[in-house]
Amino acid sequence: MHKRALYKKLWDYLSADKSMIMLAGPRQSGKTTFAKEIVAKNYSDAIYLNWDQAEDKRRLIVDPLFFSKEPRTSLSSKPLVILDEIHKYRHWKNYLKGIYDQFSKEYQFLVTGSGRLEFSRKAGDSLAGRFLKFHLFPLTLAELSSQRREWKDFVKNPLQGFDDVPAKHTGEAFKSLWELSGFPEPLFSGRKTFWRTWTSTYGQQIVRDDLKTVADIRNLDTIEILFALLPARVGSPLSMNNLAGDLQVAFDTVKSWLLLFDLFYLSFRLSPWSEKITRSLRKEKKIYIFNYPLIEDEGHRFENLVAVDFLRAVETWNDYGFGKFNLHYVRNKNKQEADFLITENNRPFLLMETKISDETPSANLKIFQNTLNVPAIQLVKKDGVKKVFKNGKNDILVVTAHRWLSSLP
């Protein structure tokens, strides 16, 4: 399996400053493998507990300080304690608070989870100041290419610096992601038939196993239907009223279910950017899914694949502390739209559009670039494209997506 050097570097960076690190991300994105086979190998002593395993669950309940009783092979370094899926434990926040306060100078803790760890920062004061977090997502082009640019070079000029990435290599990686997603198991199987088998159980497993740990869901069949409707909604502002009508449930029910999908990394949503945009949309979000081969429409699947790459980048930059980055889209009430806008500290940073084969910058991209005054890129699925266009005092790069995305820090 790919060594996920990007996340190993981030782990080293964060763990040097804090003895409790929380790792959150979609189920089956490789968190357990990363913890056990990459991080743990750098420790003389490593202790692993998985809350989903009955024996491990009993072990923690009987003796919450079980890890402190384990023999050590080295007294000169901290042991690593991996607590996998511990967020499913009803009292997990108080438990982590207790062991951190007592053992933070003696042990290093890695806490992984496929859901609510992302929201632990909203848990009040119980865990405040006791952890740093980072995210592990399905594999993206930048990670598969191992050709990421240095952050300082990227910030200086996002439109340059990607020419050293071999086009053949990035093109092959793009085709694999396009057909199989970035989830390691189906991706490295290399088989569409395996992806179909894997997909048939993936969403159902999360709905029936994970979502029930945080919500009283009485109609599992209907929530599964809702998730099945999402691939056809990718690429356009999402109307929860329409979804509620299709499912014949209340608006608030759909709203709460969509929040659960986001919470457990089945989907993510982008808000419209409204500042400086005349007649901008302010409420309707766009939705994307992590298992994007489910999307039949070529243009929408392409947009979704790019969205996952940008989300990984933005969250990684935030985890490193490079700034406060967010991913949005831009759309006004005249239905003019640009697919993505990255903001830094609530200021526009980079504007992006996706097209299947159009090598000329879209009119909307030009309009919003003139308004926001930022670099702009049009990513195309077509191979062999690299052109730079002037738009007033700004430049627009039109480029084959897999070439540019493979260098994304």
SS3 161: coil
pLDDT higher than 90, residue 235: no
Mean pLDDT of the residues in the chain: 89
What does 209-245 look like in DSSP terms, one character per residue?
A: IIGGGTS--S-HHHHHHHHHHGGGGTTSB--HHHHHH
Beta-bridged to residue 399, according to DSSP, are 379, 386
Task: Please give the structure tokens belonging to residue 280.
Answer: 């901008």
pLDDT value of residue 328 = 96
Distance, in Å, from the CA atom of 271 to the CA atom of 303, rounded to the nearest integer, reads 16
Q: Is the pTM of this model over 0.95?
A: no
**Closest-CA residue to 29 (of 132, 117, 113):** 113
pLDDT value of residue 117 = 63
Q: How confident is the model at residue 113 (pLDDT cuts 50, 70, 90)?
A: confident
Distance, in Å, from the CA atom of 357 to the CA atom of 398, rounded to the nearest integer, reads 10
pLDDT higher than 80, residue 120: no
Q: How confident is the model at residue 9 (pLDDT cuts 50, 70, 90)?
A: confident
Q: What is the DSSP letter of 343?
A: E
pLDDT value of residue 160 = 87
CA angle 52, 53, 54 (to 5 degrees): 115
pLDDT value of residue 116 = 61
pLDDT value of residue 146 = 75
Q: Which is higher by pLDDT, 58 or 283?
A: 58
pLDDT value of residue 278 = 57
Task: Please give the structure tokens belonging to residue 1.
Answer: 């399996």
Decide: residue 101, CB within 10 A, 0-12 exposed, 13-18 middle, 19+ buried: exposed
Which run of H or of E encompasses 272? strand 267-272
As a whole-number percent, the residues of the chain with pLDDT over 70 amount to 93
Distance of CA 211 to CAs 219, 222, 294, Å?
12, 13, 21
The average pLDDT across 88-94 equals 86
Write out the CATH class of domain 5-135.
Answer: alpha beta
Determine how many CB atoms are found less than 10 A away from the CB of residue 77. Answer: 13
Q: Tokens 């438990």 appear where?
A: 95
Decide: residue 29, CB within 10 A, 0-12 exposed, 13-18 middle, 19+ buried: buried
pLDDT higher than 80, residue 223: yes
pLDDT higher than 90, residue 91: no
- Least trusted range by pLDDT, from 87-101, 201-215, 335-349: 201-215
Q: Are 114 and 210 in contact (CB under 8 A)?
A: yes
Q: Are 203 and 220 in contact (CB under 8 A)?
A: no
The average pLDDT across 352-375 equals 96
The average pLDDT across 291-296 equals 97
pLDDT value of residue 1 = 44
Distance, in Å, from the CA atom of 409 to the CA atom of 405, rounded to the nearest integer, reads 9
- Computed from CA positions of residues 99, 100, 106, 110, in that sequence, does the dihedral angle turn out positive or negative? positive
pLDDT value of residue 123 = 43
Residue-range domain boundaries for the chain: 5-135, 141-405
pLDDT value of residue 2 = 57
pLDDT value of residue 208 = 73
pLDDT value of residue 148 = 84
- Least trusted range by pLDDT, from 36-50, 210-224, 288-302, 358-372: 210-224
Determine how many CB atoms are found less than 10 A away from the CB of residue 17. Answer: 9
pLDDT value of residue 165 = 63
The average pLDDT across 32-52 equals 92
- Least trusted range by pLDDT, from 68-72, 93-97, 163-167, 171-175: 163-167
Task: Please give the structure tokens belonging to residue 2.
Answer: 């790919």
Q: How confident is the model at residue 121 (pLDDT cuts 50, 70, 90)?
A: very low
Decide: residue 249, CB within 10 A, 0-12 exposed, 13-18 middle, 19+ buried: middle
Decide: residue 275, CB within 10 A, 0-12 exposed, 13-18 middle, 19+ buried: exposed
Distance, in Å, from the CA atom of 298 to the CA atom of 301, rounded to the nearest integer, reads 5
